[in-house]
């Protein structure tokens, strides 16, 4: 089973999930709180950055490109609600910007 590591600030939590499962749903079902609102790719709240294993995730979809922009996608950003796990990965939840 794929191993998923989620870094939030200084902490990192890991879990196993079945291949093909949704990253956001699996994380929140284990009390790993990736921020989210809509779970459909419209709000962009569940933005994550892939640190390792991008090739073991589902392909980037149109909703992600629309919401994040091509530049952010090229930097490794994804929407957790649109991301499916097919192997070991490590991601981080970016800290909110302070204005």
pTM: 0.92
Tell me, yes or no, whether 99 lies in a domain. no
Residue 41 in any domain: the answer is yes
Domain presence at residue 74:
yes
Q: Are 76 and 7 in contact (CB under 8 A)?
A: no
Residue 26 within any structural domain of the chain: yes
Give me the domain span that covers residue 85.
Answer: 3-93
Q: Has residue 87 been placed in a domain?
A: yes
In a domain, 66, yes or no: yes
| Number of structural domains the chain divides into | 1
**Do residues 41 and 63 lie in contact, with contact meaning Cβ atoms separated by under 8 Å?**
yes
In the prediction, which pLDDT does 97 show? 55
Average pLDDT on 11-39 reads 96
pLDDT at 98: 47
Q: What is the CATH number of the domain that holds 42?
A: 3.10.20.30
Mean pLDDT calculated for residue range 46-51: 97
The single-letter DSSP state of residue 86 is S
Q: Please indicate, yes or no, if residue 28 is contained in any of the structural domains.
A: yes
Spatial CB neighbours of 89, under 8 Å, sequence gap ≥ 6: 2, 3, 4, 5, 23, 50, 52, 53, 54, 56, 57
Q: Is residue 98 part of a domain?
A: no
């Amino acid at each position: 089973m794929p191993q998923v590591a989620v870094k939030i600030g200084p902490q990192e939590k890991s879990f196993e999930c079945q291949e093909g499962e949704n990253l956001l749903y699996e994380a929140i079902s284990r009390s790993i709180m990736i921020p989210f609102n809509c779970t459909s790719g419209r709000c962009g709240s569940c933005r994550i950055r892939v640190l390792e294993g991008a090739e073991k995730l589902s392909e980037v979809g149109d909703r992600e490109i629309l919401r994040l922009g091509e530049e952010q996608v090229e930097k490794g950003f994804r929407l957790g609600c649109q991301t499916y796990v097919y192997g070991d990965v490590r991601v981080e939840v970016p800290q909110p910007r302070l204005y």
